[in-house]
Chains A and B, each alone.
Chain A
Amino acid sequence: MKKAIDEKILDEANSWIKANHKVALVTVIKTWGSSPRQVGSKMIVNENGDFSGSVSGGCVESSIIEESLQLIKENMQFKKMELKVSNENAWEVGLACGGEMTIYLEIIN
């Protein structure tokens, strides 16, 4: 197997840390159905809610930013999150694409 992409997100995480930001690294660790991004996809979030990278096509990033901010605020080290499609909260956290995925959030410190 060859991989044609090179995620630059970890370089960016490092430069945020060098600039004294608190950084949460978010990684897709499992997917089912038609989730748009592959296992291993990453995004980073800082204490101001700035983010870079992606774990979906924009469907769940907002809720992940909130979870990351909470992780930073409560000084927790890591957290696992499962994201599913559901009609009631489709506007908030649902994957419009109909997929499901597990996300791992961790603080880099």
Chain B
Amino acid sequence: MKKQLLEQILIKKKHKEEFALITNILTGESFIFEKNKNIDKNFEKYSDEINNYFNNKQNGIIENTDIFIDTYLRPIKVIIVGAVHITQYLLDYAKDLNFEIFIIDPRGYFASEKRFPNMNIINKWPIEAFEEIKTDSSSALIALTHDPKIDDPALKHALKNKFFYIGALGSKKTHLNRCQRLKDSGFKEEEINSIHGPIGIKLGGKSAPEIALSIIAQLVSETHKS
């Protein structure tokens, strides 16, 4: 592989682009494949197969050929509402995972650059903040303020946009009250039941790093289900 090609791959990864590296393992040639862009002329005859593999987000050697396709997927958008103590640990655990994280908190003391250096942090109310983030059914929401004024609008946004993972911090009682409020706002029971509340898998711990670990574990597990 040429150095220049490696640099191109790193730039594309940094820009969160979706692409594939295609290699002919007999000749050692490789090129970067992008959807709807021209295919390198040495690989043109495999065009259909390459597109097929890419569309199915499949990695591997294309059957009966010497062409290897390595797909680079866009990171999963994870929106954390609440720049709280647990959030700081979530970021630690998430740093080697393929997540693009945004933190929303309208409270200035919480959403400070000093507490969260080099992070996408939006010091606004969720409704305004979501105008800045493009989300869809491959996005995830972690709501951590357990303050209805802040969490509820974010939960409603996530439900409407069919996020694949929605989790909300709070005791069973807090969660029951939350479910009732969402019901009163017109959300269906099956939508409300898709919220993981209380958030996280059962680890038993109550400290911030332990709760963060249980949330990340649940998020990764849900990632592999969908």
Taking beta carbons and an 8 Å cutoff, which residues of A are in contact with B?
1-6, 8, 10-11, 13-14, 17, 25, 27, 29-30, 38-40, 77-78, 80, 102, 104, 106-109
Contact = CB atoms under 8 A, between A and B. Distances in A.
23 contacts: A2-B76, A2-B138, A2-B164, A2-B223, A3-B73, A3-B98, A4-B76, A4-B97, A4-B224, A5-B96, A6-B99, A8-B96, A10-B10, A11-B10, A14-B6, A14-B7, A17-B6, A40-B59, A40-B71, A78-B25, A104-B23, A104-B68, A106-B23
A102 B59 CA distance: 14
Interface string B1-39: 111001101100100000000010100100000000000
A25 B223 contact: no
Q: Is the interface of B mostly helix, strand, loop or mixed?
A: mixed
A38 B71 CA distance: 13
B210 interface: no
B141 to A, nearest CB: 15
B9 A10 contact: yes
A38 to B, nearest CB: 8
A27 B63 CA distance: 18
Contacts of B2: 108-109
A64 B224 CA distance: 30
B10 to A, nearest CB: 6
A10 B96 contact: no
A1 B60 CA distance: 15
Interface in B54-105: 57, 59-61, 68, 70-71, 73, 75-76, 96-99
A29 B76 contact: no
Given A4-B224, A6-B98, A106 B3 contact: no
Nearest to A11: B10
Interface of B: 1-3, 6-7, 9-10, 13, 23, 25, 28, 57, 59-61, 68, 70-71, 73, 75-76, 96-99, 138, 164, 220, 223-224, 226
B6 to A, nearest CB: 6
Given A30-B61, A38-B59, 8 more contacts: A2-B98, A4-B98, A10-B9, A27-B68, A40-B71, A80-B25, A108-B6, A109-B2
Contacts of A78: 25, 28
Q: Tell me the dominant secondary structure on chain A's binding face.
A: mixed
A4 to B, nearest CB: 5
B95 to A, nearest CB: 9
Contact of A39 (B3, B59, B96, B220): B59
Given A25-B1, A106-B1, A4 B25 contact: no
B101 to A, nearest CB: 12
A4 B3 contact: no
A4 B223 contact: yes
A39 B28 CA distance: 18
B14 to A, nearest CB: 9
A78 B1 CA distance: 9
Contacts of A80: 25
Given A2-B73, A3-B73, A30-B60, A10 B13 contact: yes
